[in-house]
């Protein structure tokens, strides 16, 4: 979750009157307009191919990535598989993106707390909660955290990598050059984006996740495992 900086219609086209032989669209104009349209379409497709983390909507993604949770995640995160699917559906998000955020933020520990004051499964900062909220209630924590993720994804025009940066460093970082990002935010996307890409690629294990676990996740996941009572 964003850390505190000090801490952590097409328009309708009307036909042109044909009173002087000028007409509306002639055959000579139709060809270049068709070429332009096709070129624009190919451009969009090229962008999406070049950036596999570009999300236009959950419905536009392959069924394997929009409805099923990848097995690459740690068992502590997979413990929440049914809840992740439910929360993702309610927020119109890919469950694998939701799981990636949970993996890095808490490794599935509902009582996780950071030194900056972030709380729960999605490490939500206090100022995102409403009066009377229980920050450690998984449903509440997911609702507040994923609401911010949805806003971050919208600001990033569907770019999951940039959305992760916004989730960690605050939505305000999204339009800025990456060299201006805080080191923690750079590290967040360094691991988060490859983990998410592995999750939606259909692989059964993730080197990126394993590297994150070895470097940063061992203690976090052990704590989550104990909290969840996993053997």
How are the residues of the chain apportioned to helix, strand and coil, as percentages rounded to the nearest 5? 60, 0, 40
**What span, in angstroms and rounded, lies between the C-alpha atoms of 51 and 204?**
21
The answer to whether residues 190 and 169 touch, using CB atoms and an 8 Å cutoff, is: no
**What is the SS3 string spanning 115-145?**
CCCCECCCCECHHHCCCCCCCCCHHHHHHHH
d(CA 78, CA 139): 16
Residues of the chain with pLDDT under 70: 2-53, 55-67
Which 3 state secondary structure label does DSSP give 50? helix
Q: What are phi and psi of 223, to 5 degrees?
A: -65, -40
In this prediction the pTM is 0.76
Residue 18 has what pLDDT? 32
pLDDT in tens, 90-120: 999 999 999 999 999 999 999 999 999 999 9
* CA 34/CA 204 separation, integer angstroms: 43
Give, as one character, the DSSP assignment of residue 216.
I
Answer whether 185's CB lies under 8 Å from 173's CB: yes
Query: 202: Cβ–Cβ under 8 A, 6 or more apart, which residues?
Result: 64, 70
CATH 1.10.530.10 describes domain 55-228: yes
> Which pLDDT does position 54 carry in this prediction?
73
Residue 47: the pLDDT is: 45
Q: pLDDT value at position 165?
A: 98
From first CA to last CA, the distance across the chain in angstroms is 29
């Amino acid at each position: 979750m964003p850390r505190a900086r000090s801490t952590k219609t097409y328009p309708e086209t009307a036909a042109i009157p044909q009173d002087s032989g000028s007409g509306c669209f002639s055959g000579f104009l139709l060809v270049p307009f068709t070429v332009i349209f096709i070129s624009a379409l190919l451009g969009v497709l090229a962008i999406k191919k070049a950036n596999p983390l570009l999300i236009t909507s959950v419905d536009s993604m392959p069924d394997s990535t929009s409805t099923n949770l990848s097995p690459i995640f740690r068992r502590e995160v997979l413990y929440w598989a049914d809840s992740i699917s439910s929360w993702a559906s309610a927020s119109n998000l890919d469950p694998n993106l939701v799981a990636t955020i949970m993996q890095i933020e808490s490794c599935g520990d509902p009582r996780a707390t950071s030194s900056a004051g972030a709380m729960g499964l999605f490490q939500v900062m206090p100022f995102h909660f409403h009066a009377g909220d229980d920050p450690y209630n998984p449903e509440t924590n997911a609702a507040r955290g994923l609401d911010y993720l949805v806003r971050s994804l919208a600001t990033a025009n569907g770019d999951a990598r940039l959305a992760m940066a916004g989730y960690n460093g605050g939505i305000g970082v999204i339009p800025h050059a990456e060299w201006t990002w805080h080191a923690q935010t750079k590290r967040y996307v360094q691991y988060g984006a490859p983990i998410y890409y592995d999750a939606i690629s259909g692989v059964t294990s993730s080197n990126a996740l394993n590297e994150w676990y070895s470097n940063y996740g061992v203690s976090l996941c052990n704590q989550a495992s104990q909290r969840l009572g996993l053997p």
